[in-house]
Structure 1
Amino acid sequence: MAECERETERDPVDRPGLVLRAFEHDGRYVLGFPLHVALTLCADPPSTCVRGLPLASWAGNAGAIGIRLIDPATGNVVLSHEPFPVVLPELGTSTFTLSPGACRRMLVDVSRFLPADLAPGRYDLVILYGAPSRLIESPVARVELAAPGAAEREELDRLEPELALVGSWGRWTNLRPRHGERIEPPRGSLDPLRFNRVLRYLMFGPEGLSDVDPALLDVLHGVYEPESHALLAELYAARGDAARLAEQAAIIRTSYPGLAWWIDEIEAGRSAIAAARGG
């Protein structure tokens, strides 16, 4: 991958910008649970380098993500939250650089923007990504926001104290289990917490990472499909299975190059999942 050259002084009009290469989402979400969408950003033009971009992820978004929710029947804006990015690495804010020809896929959760009394129904969803002097707006996505069923409501009630303590599903996912707490695997492909549960199981589960059955990831379809390949790569790296790791790396770099950074980290021995295990 090409390295970024030192940026020379140039007119602001000529500064490289960003382009949204892909916007992915599911068709249905359950209110109260994560609402994950994915943005893939690339430099524009692709031969340029863009530094100091706020890093948004499933764990947090550094103020870089905004949302508009629109009633498709009336066109009225039900909810609007503009991004207010914070780019202060010295305060712990994560940033990233887009090298020439590179893209970055960011899976983000926008559920925290939704008011608790939002009515179930179909909405038009627009996601905004903001960086200093740059704003990216996604296409409109029609999504269904469904009311939780009885079992889902019971689960929300059970997890509410932990969620209130940490403030978001991303932070809950990274929350180390209490002594004796059982880390639950996902409850199937319709589990609205399936992605977060997979991550918690990989980071804090009862068995070693090399012993986790890759079938655990079978529930990650739809918007989570690209991440499922990166997580498979994590498992094969932990097993020392170079051939299968190479297969997943090839899938990522060919079909989902916006996640190539993840494969680079695994191959360099900097896996965040392994680090959470103390490995």
Structure 2
Amino acid sequence: MDVKKAVIPVAGLGTRFLPVTKSMPKEMLPIIDTPVIHYVVQEAIESGIDDIIFVTGRNKRAIEDYFDGCPELEMHLKNRGKYDMLEMVQEISSMVDIHYIRQKEPNGLGDAIMTARKHVSGDPFAVLLGDDIIVNEKPCTRQLIDVFRKYGRSTIAVEEVPQDKVSSYGIISGSPVDEYLYALDDIVEKPSVEEAPSNIGAIGRYVFTPEIFDCIEQTSKGVGGEIQLTDGIRLLNDSQKVYAHQFTGRRYDSGNKVEYVKAVLDFAMKDDGMREEIQQHLQNLGPITHD
């Protein structure tokens, strides 16, 4: 079966970006003039997904509003002959079929995915986390779907992570299948550097068979007192092989302040109208002083 559905969990509180995330979803942080979540949805669409369910929480209405129509704005643009802007705004609200369901309380990524079980309805599905922007000619999710098509098994995206970041990821051990693919042996949630089986970490892209739901349901609370998706993946791997794909592309963890700034700069440098001024500004920066 092909993968046509995606779950995008966006219920997190965004504490790494307080105070702005007190009133604004972290997924709506702008990369110049486009929110992070737009790039995530765009990746899903370009991967062949046509049905998306957002798992939301309180204070996430801005995400719903962004992907909804806005008659007042559209009329305003139309009356002033700003048809390019009008087309852009209308395109956003017609990108893909989008549904919303609430996670009643923050209880871990595994719990967030469980809320989408009825909507997924026994089909294979993708999961895209709203923090990660991944830039590549072939979308990361499409890469995972291609592996799924070949092997018919759940596939997670992984990359090498710095040693000092190992404790922030689900870290895998695996048997190489080819240059970019591992058959999963184990995955450990946020291990210490000493206990980590490798420095290859799972990032925010997955393709799952529907059996993942039964596995998550059987797990108890793990690291941080939450229902961890990693524990569900470990259990799934006991009954059907899970694969880990070392994706190609540039990943920006927009939930990290430094990575977020890098994303803004890199996207600005790709814009012909901004590149020259940005380059000039960076070249003119003098010594950093601390007042």
Fold conserved between structures, TM > 0.5 = no
More helix by share: 2
Greater relative contact order (CA < 8 Å, ≥ 6 in sequence): 2
TM-score by length of 2: 0.26
